[in-house]
Amino acid sequence: MNGLKAHQRELINLSRRCIPLLKPELYKGQCGKICVVGGCEEYTGAPYFSAHAASTFGSDLVYVLCERKAGLPIKAYSPNLMVHPYLVDSYSATREPKEEPDFEKILGVVQRCHVLVIGPGLGRDKKIREQVIQIVQEAASIGGDHNRCLILDADALFVLSTEDSEKFQEALKKYGENRVIITPNAVELKRIMKALNVDTVEEVSKRLGCITVAKGHHDIIINSKGKRWENDVEGSMKRCGGQGDTLTGVIASMLGFSRAVHDWKLQPLSVPGKESVLPWDQMAMLSCYVGSTATKMASKAAYEKVGRQMQTTDMNYIVGEIFEKLYDTEGE
């Protein structure tokens, strides 16, 4: 953890209690099953970046639910991701032969997963928006899992400023407190505050019962109870498209880890028998802090390596290395 200040190291050390210790007897999926819902004809990189970051940060299984025309490109980006092109846009739903989304297949994927990331590359098609709202409604309890986590970014946040906002907010109320994370940039946050008719980030989190990660030079993390952290870990000078997708992927991975320790009582990295399980609110805040820290560290390392030509691919390729730098888990 060279380069981190004392207060930053303290939070990273505490977050070890969110991460399950790898053991031979664990089976595939226990350390996190993540589903990224996003990707359309125009945008296929964003869902890949989010899913790839979740995978390389340590999640066991990562799925992508995307619009049909996005499926082949995303499959071609990586054989490590399970890509399900089951969403249907307005064009496909109205032209002959008309297509309709198969919700039995869609919910079959959702049911397997512990954490959903909704929004990367989603687009603003109304038909897709309707399917996303239904997914959010069903995911709150499908398969008997009432503690599923949700991360909303990009065009999923845009739904809050549409005519479907109230329906979307009602769906979000089905989730446990601080089981929903939103990751707006400055423009998105301003739009959300206007749509909700509130003046502060604290009010946004309270209204939605969520944790808000307000992205900026210093990321601000605020939960539904008003607890506020500021992450002053330094990133890079370069602002390339896709860094926010890396952030959602790492947060998703950490939430999957946190659920493994909190909800299913797997042994964490910290010394067994010495510490009790942290409260969920704290684990969720730590997950967001680690996501923010790892993304900034990856951005800085990639920029130092390649300079102004840095792209999100450069960041994602070293996300796994950042995990090892933070936690030094060689040999577990």
The long-range contacts involving 20-23, CB below 8 angstroms and separated by at least 24 positions, are: 20/257, 20/260, 20/261, 20/266, 20/267, 20/268, 20/269, 21/266, 21/267, 21/268, 21/269, 21/272, 21/332, 22/329, 22/332, 23/267, 23/332
Instruction: Look at the block and give the residue holding tokens 């992927």.
Output: 249
To the question of whether residue 277 is assigned a binding role by annotation, the answer is no
To the question of whether residue 1 is assigned a binding role by annotation, the answer is no
Local structure of residue 79 (DSSP, 8 states): T
To the question of whether residue 242 is assigned a binding role by annotation, the answer is yes
- Cα distances from 28 to residues 25, 31, 82, 90, 252, in angstroms, run 10, 7, 14, 37, 17
To the question of whether residue 185 is assigned a binding role by annotation, the answer is yes
Local structure of residue 60 (DSSP, 8 states): S
Partnered with residue 115 across adjacent β-strands are 34, 149
To the question of whether residue 236 is assigned a binding role by annotation, the answer is yes
Can you tell me the distance from the alpha carbon of 69 to that of 77, in angstroms, rounded to the nearest whole number?
14
To the question of whether residue 216 is assigned a binding role by annotation, the answer is yes
Can you tell me the distance from the alpha carbon of 193 to that of 33, in angstroms, rounded to the nearest whole number?
32
To the question of whether residue 239 is assigned a binding role by annotation, the answer is yes
Can you tell me the distance from the alpha carbon of 216 to that of 230, in angstroms, rounded to the nearest whole number?
10
To the question of whether residue 190 is assigned a binding role by annotation, the answer is yes
| Sign of the dihedral defined by the CA atoms of residues 73, 77, 78, 81, in that order | negative
To the question of whether residue 18 is assigned a binding role by annotation, the answer is no
> Which has the closest alpha carbon to 286: 328, 317, 327, 330?
327
| Sign of the dihedral defined by the CA atoms of residues 220, 149, 319, 12, in that order | positive
To the question of whether residue 285 is assigned a binding role by annotation, the answer is no
Which helix (H) or strand (E) element contains residue 138? helix 126-139
To the question of whether residue 204 is assigned a binding role by annotation, the answer is no
To the question of whether residue 6 is assigned a binding role by annotation, the answer is no
To the question of whether residue 315 is assigned a binding role by annotation, the answer is no
To the question of whether residue 244 is assigned a binding role by annotation, the answer is yes
Beta-carbon neighbour count of residue 57 at 10 Å? 27
To the question of whether residue 241 is assigned a binding role by annotation, the answer is yes
Q: DSSP letter string over 267-317?
A: -BSSPTTTSPPPPHHHHHHHHHHHHHHHHHHHHHHHHHHHGGG--HHHHHT
To the question of whether residue 144 is assigned a binding role by annotation, the answer is no
Q: Would you list which residues are annotated within the binding site?
A: 121, 185-191, 215-219, 235-245
Annotation: binding site for (6S)-NADPHX = 121, 185-191, 245
Question: Which residues line the annotated binding site for ATP?
Answer: 215-219, 235-244
